Structure 1
Amino acid sequence: MPRQSASLITALLTFVLVANLVPLMTVPTVLPDLQARWHLTAGQAGWIGSIYFAGYAIAAPILASLSDRIDGRWVLAGSSLAGAAASIAFGICADGFWLAFALRFVSGAAMAGVHMPGLKMLADRTLGPAQLRSAGIYTSSYALGNAGSALIAGVVQSLLDWRAPFVVGGIVTLLALPALALLRPAPRQAAKEETPAHPVMLRRNRALVAYIVGFAGNTWEVFAIRVWFVACLAWTLRLPGNDIDLPNLGVVSGLAALAGVPVSIAVAELAVRYRGSTVIVVTALLSVLVCLGLAATAGGNVFVVLALLVLLQVTSFADVGALGAGAVAATHAAERGRAFGIYATVGFASGFAGPAVVGLVLERLGGTESPDAWAGAFLVMGVGSAVTAAAVWFGRSDQRPSGGR
């Protein structure tokens, strides 16, 4: 049977990833409603917003390693079904903090069975420069799913109610199944490749460690701004002199996240063509500057704050494709499931912590109606990209990744 083209494989697996991401931003989009209806504190709201990533982090090493032993298509199919069920159940049954907390945990665990196993499947089916470009596109498409989730949730909520986005998100997730059916098994030689004499040992793989820590910094900032974007903008609009007409704020957040997709793909391409570590460091430092700008202008002019919020959605995500491609290049084919499991676990543990810590900072510094609290929140977000820049800079190699191993 002839090998499927890299472009078709990338398109199918990217669609599977994006379809599974549709429920992701449902909670952040409707968070103000949930806080009002369920009388949630800022800390509780932060936990509901971030527990998804804890579920991901806990399940990632198990499900990513499982894709080393069985056909990854089964891992992705089962995880897609579980994610769809959890999202639909949230929309129908959730009535308070604890049930919402549990269902979002399941949703995150299900996503762990799609994201990195999908990247492994992509890497196993592509070679050379096409492998790195495909990995950059696939990982960058996370923002496409993120943005699509916020857009769909915002539109559906405005037409129906806060529960409907969860049900719709679960239904869209099921569309991943026919796409998986079109994907052929991995080439036999990739499945039988022998484990190298020196398996992945983090202390011996400086490049992989740098990308793992860099991804952790990235997810800290990305998910913190994704979870708190709507709440911050809603507060800013309530301030005197800041009342302007905007679409549903979930739609605004989604459009801002969507702008990050082509930027992330472009940054990943620059990292393939030039020295990837330098590209990532410059991008991360730019995002730190945007966080500092938001901290300085919190509670100020709505046009300035809105522009910086949108810019942070873009800059925080801009290096994710380059980080993913770098991680692919730093691992051997026979080790990818385990290596990507570590990459995802550390990254999404940080993604879980980021929104929760921001929520606690907001609560301790005066709540979501305090400019000082929001200033502190953006300083905490900026720590993520600062860590990314430092990790990649100190873990840099003199050689550009070649991929295809």
Structure 2
Amino acid sequence: MTTKPLFQEKSSIRIIFWICIAEILTMQGVFTFSSMLPFFFEEWKLDSVDAGWISGIYYGSYMISVMILVSLTDWIDAKKIYISGVLITLISCIGFALFVEGYWSAILFRALGGIGLAGTYMPGLKALTDRLSGTSRIRATSFYTASFGAGSALSFLIGGSILEWFPWETAFWIAGLCALLALLIVSKVLESRPNHIGSRSGLRSLDFRPVLRNSNAMGWIACYSSHNYELFAFRSWIVVYLAFALSGVSDGLNIQPSVIVFFGVLLGMPSSIIGNELAMRYGRTRIVVGIMCLSAVLAIVVGNSIGLSAPLLILLVLVYGCFVTGDSASITTGVIESASEENRGVTMAVHSSIGFIGSFLGPIGFGLVLNAFGGHNNSEAWFWAFSSTGVILLIGPVLLLILRTVK
């Protein structure tokens, strides 16, 4: 059964704009904890491993639930999955504000938040790309993945700024309100579509074998996993890193680390879009491999930069942040374009689930290395944590090049 593409009835630009706004709104609870991590280290008496688990469990629960939720979008209209995800996100944010008092309660509501993200991020992209075609779909993917960066930036800014004026719970109340607004937007902008009846309906939508046999798609998925290891290790720990690195610098600068990260993540939006445009012009594989190799080098450089003047250190972190996100849209577009239309939902499910293994392990792995070499107040520990992240990042492009040769 086929339906008319929704872009024939409504402007594709309007749909892209509002779904990107909704994505930004649902992101407000994702990095709120990370932006307040220096505060929670003292408030809850955490060590680096504890903090890594609270950050990482979010992506662990995402990794497990996204495989099912996104696969179902080949059968059920992705809009329905998205709305369910937004409701879970709303509950997780309000629950964190009301009930979290330490490590274990934080683990519980962060895990719930990860399920909410699994129901919104890739299902939102699927709902968007199902209603577009051609270059509109390719560019929509670029803008949508960049919106993840915009939402991340605001999450850092709100979380880091709230502590100066209000109790920390206020940031999670704001995140819950944003989720409610996203729910209203998607309900209004996206028209509902009937369930798909065919080879991917029912439980057959959970058949992952076509994706696992697609070596081209699996190469991009491998890249996505190592990219996410670096991205979420970086975003989970960069506020703490800057707080430590800038504490011993007397350059007269008094900038909140969360504000620096806010602007850094904002810069990641155009870098992701530019990376995708370069990939369209000069070849996706060449651009992605190049960006990831340069990012690995910069990870090692940043880890060895404690003691630099504040302006130089901040500039270096901002440049590194651009390379961290520069390959994001290109990788996701590579996955989508390598999938057949009937398997696009399940391909995105495998992409998200395997990809977020890296997201889950990144904050935890970074914290483990940090703890092993002396903790978050030791310069050498930061060097080894960043360096290990750069080395792990390179696994992705190596597997991409290998799998491209498999028929």
CA distance in 1, matches of 2:208, 2:97: 44
1:174 match: secondary structure = helix
Per the alignment, residue 213 of structure 1 pairs with 222
- Of the three residues 327, 350, 362, the one matched with 1:342 is 350
Per the alignment, residue 245 of structure 2 pairs with 236
Q: 1:15 to 1:384 in 2, by over 3 A?
A: farther
CA distance in 1, matches of 2:18, 2:10: 11
Would the aligned equivalents of 1:125 and 1:187 in 2 still touch at CA under 8 Å? no
Per the alignment, residue 382 of structure 1 pairs with 390
Identify the range of structure 1 (10-19 vs 50-59) with the bigger mean alpha-carbon deviation.
Answer: 10-19
Per the alignment, residue 276 of structure 1 pairs with 284
- Of the three residues 347, 360, 375, the one matched with 1:352 is 360
Per the alignment, residue 314 of structure 1 pairs with 322
Per the alignment, residue 372 of structure 1 pairs with 380
Per the alignment, residue 163 of structure 2 pairs with 157
Q: 1:294 to 1:113 in 2, by over 3 A?
A: same
Identity of aligned residues (%): 28
CA distance in 1, matches of 2:33, 2:208: 40
Would the aligned equivalents of 2:62 and 2:118 in 1 still touch at CA under 8 Å? yes
CA distance in 2, matches of 1:259, 1:144: 9
Q: Alpha-carbon deviations, 1:317-351, whole Å to 9, x = none?
A: 11101111111101112112211111101111210
Paired residues for 1:105-254 under 5 Å: 105-185=111-191, 191=196, 201-239=210-248, 241-242=249-250, 244-254=252-262
What TM-score do you get using the length of structure 2 for normalisation?
0.91
**1:94 has 2:117 as partner:** no
Per the alignment, residue 204 of structure 2 pairs with none
Per the alignment, residue 63 of structure 1 pairs with 69
CA distance in 2, matches of 1:396, 1:247: 45
Q: CA shift at 1:296, angstroms?
A: 2.7
Amino acid aligned to 2:291: T
**1:35 has 2:41 as partner:** yes
Would the aligned equivalents of 2:79 and 2:190 in 1 still touch at CA under 8 Å? no
Per the alignment, residue 91 of structure 2 pairs with 85
Paired residues for 1:253-268 under 5 Å: 253-268=261-276
1:125 match: secondary structure = coil
Would the aligned equivalents of 1:219 and 1:350 in 2 still touch at CA under 8 Å? yes
CA distance in 2, matches of 1:258, 1:143: 6
1:74 match: secondary structure = helix
CA distance in 1, matches of 2:336, 2:96: 35
Per the alignment, residue 341 of structure 2 pairs with 333
Q: 1:250 to 1:144 in 2, by over 3 A?
A: same
CA distance in 2, matches of 1:130, 1:384: 34
Structure 2 gap ranges (5+): 202-206
Root mean square deviation of aligned Cα:
2.2
CA distance in 2, matches of 1:34, 1:52: 17
Q: CA shift at 1:68, angstroms?
A: 2.1
Q: CA shift at 1:254, angstroms?
A: 1.3
Per the alignment, residue 401 of structure 1 pairs with none
Give the length in aligned residue pairs.
395
